[in-house]
Amino acid sequence: NSKVIQTPRYLVKGQGQKAKMRCIPEKGHPVVFWYQQNKNNEFKFLINFQNQEVLQQIDMTEKRFSAECPSNSPCSLEIQSSEAGDSALYLCASSLRTGWDTQYFGPGTRLLVL
Amino acid sequence: GDSVTQTEGLVTLTEGLPVMLNCTYQTIYSNPFLFWYVQHLNESPRLLLKSFTDNKRTEHQGFHATLHKSSSSFHLQKSSAQLSDSALYYCALSEVNNRIFFGDGTQLVVKP
């Protein structure tokens, strides 16, 4: 069973507001991924970290999102100025390494932008 | 770039019938890792099975899949569907030190 913790479970914001969510990866997992799962259940990779360093991120994330994984603190993903299209389930996953290792997913933060 | 294709968005079948969910992939790398993740309603995805060995059958919880590099496929199969198998199934691809690419998912609905 996954021990990835995500908070909050639900988040409601107005357009233009900041939306911040947090993730505590499984103990001992240095690799953290963020995904956006839309209403059509499509997965979109957003960004991943190895320890505190960004490994990869998509263009959208670079422009409108800020994310970090500081040492000894939860990882976070923040949308700087929320848009209606950002309404989705944001899933955090962690693993021992990228590539072969299983990703363990948290329960997600469901964001609704009004 | 890497990509995963799941041709069926929705598969509906009767309990007891065999299950086959299609997955094909594209990658420039010769040694991809292929995964199947399952997501039940209101739950987060979890790994069902994975493989990187060509032509070797991998099994877990009654499901099985074989990676065929010659056809770039990793289809998921089960001999007899159960009601509890109703869920979203994602095929995914990765290379070592790379992120995972997920397909668009196949919704499996098993009816009595």
* C-alpha span between A58 and B19 (Å, rounded): 35
How high does pLDDT run on average in chain B? Answer: 94
What single letter denotes the amino acid at residue A78?
A: E
- pLDDT band (50, 70, 90) for residue A61: confident
Is B50 at the interface with chain A, CB within 8 A? yes
User: To which residue do tokens 């990882």 refer?
Assistant: A75
For a pLDDT cut of 90, what percent of chain A falls above it?
A: 71
| CATH number for A44 | 2.60.40.10
Q: Where do runs of H (alpha helix) occur along chain A? A: 59-64
Greater model confidence, A6 or A62: A6
Mutation target for B interface from A43, A91, A98, A110: give the one with most B CBs within 10 A: A43
Does residue A98 register a pLDDT over 80?
Answer: no
Greater model confidence, A72 or A106: A106
For a pLDDT cut of 70, what percent of chain B falls above it?
A: 97
Contact A42 B88 (CB under 8 A): no
Does residue A103 register a pLDDT over 80?
Answer: yes
* C-alpha span between A20 and A81 (Å, rounded): 11
Query: Residue B34 burial (CB < 10 Å; 0-12/13-18/19+)?
Result: buried
Query: Residue A23 burial (CB < 10 Å; 0-12/13-18/19+)?
Result: buried
CATH 2.60.40.10 fits B3-111, yes or no: yes
Structure tokens at A101: 């290792």
Contact A2 B97 (CB under 8 A): no
Beta-bridge partner residues of A44: A36
Per the structure, the complete domain to which residue A83 belongs is given by 5-113
- Give phi and psi for A84, each to the nearest 5: -55, -35
**Number of domains chain A contains:** 1
Greater model confidence, B75 or A57: B75
- pLDDT band (50, 70, 90) for residue A59: confident
Average pLDDT over residues A16-24: 97
Average pLDDT over residues A83-91: 95
* C-alpha span between B27 and B99 (Å, rounded): 13
**B76, B36 contact by CB (below 8 A):** yes
Q: Which residues of chain A make contact with B47, given a CB cutoff of 8 A?
A: 102-103
Does residue B96 register a pLDDT over 90?
Answer: no
* C-alpha span between A98 and A55 (Å, rounded): 10
A32-51 pLDDT per residue, tens: 999 999 999 888 989 999 98
Q: Where do runs of H (alpha helix) occur along A3-114? A: 59-64
Q: Which has the closest alpha carbon to A96: A104, A88, A85?
A: A104
B14-62 pLDDT per residue, tens: 999 999 999 999 998 888 899 999 999 989 999 999 999 999 999 999 9
Peptide bond into A25 cis (omega under 30): no
How high does pLDDT run on average in chain A? Answer: 92
The pLDDT assigned to B97 comes to 64
Mutation target for B interface from A9, A29, A92, A103: give the one with most B CBs within 10 A: A103
Contact A108 B44 (CB under 8 A): yes
Domain ranges of chain B: 3-111
**A23, A90 contact by CB (below 8 A):** no
Average pLDDT over residues A96-111: 89
